[in-house]
Amino acid sequence: MSTIEDLEERLNTFEASLLQIAENLVPQTAKVDDTANKVEQITPYTETKTAYIGDTETTFIQVPQGNLSVFFDKVTTYSIERTKDTITLKYEPLEEVTNITISIQ
């Protein structure tokens, strides 16, 4: 093989490598897969219940999934238990009637 043919072959290999590198760097922004249209819109959900003197838990049912926020009228230490679509808040026996609100975002 002559020097010119050797250089041409090396140049062609180099050019093919550059084209592959350029192709690999192009972002795939227009790529669509089978999950593209399956984004579920989350509608904010809020529910309030009244807990009475002596109560130690409050249960909310049919609660959608999402980020949970809990608000008590009175400062209260509580724990959260979630099973599927049911949320149970447990706390020490209440000394006052309290409104408890949950919010899902």
For 12-42, write each residue's pLDDT tens digit. 887 877 777 777 676 655 555 555 555 566 6
Please, are residues 101 and 89 in contact by the beta-carbon 8 Å criterion? no
Find, among 84, 22, 34, 25, the residue nearest to 59 by Cα. Answer: 84
End-to-end CA distance of the chain: 71
Compute the average pLDDT of residues 69-85.
92
Compute the average pLDDT of residues 83-92.
95
Please, are residues 94 and 53 in contact by the beta-carbon 8 Å criterion? yes
Please, are residues 80 and 89 in contact by the beta-carbon 8 Å criterion? yes
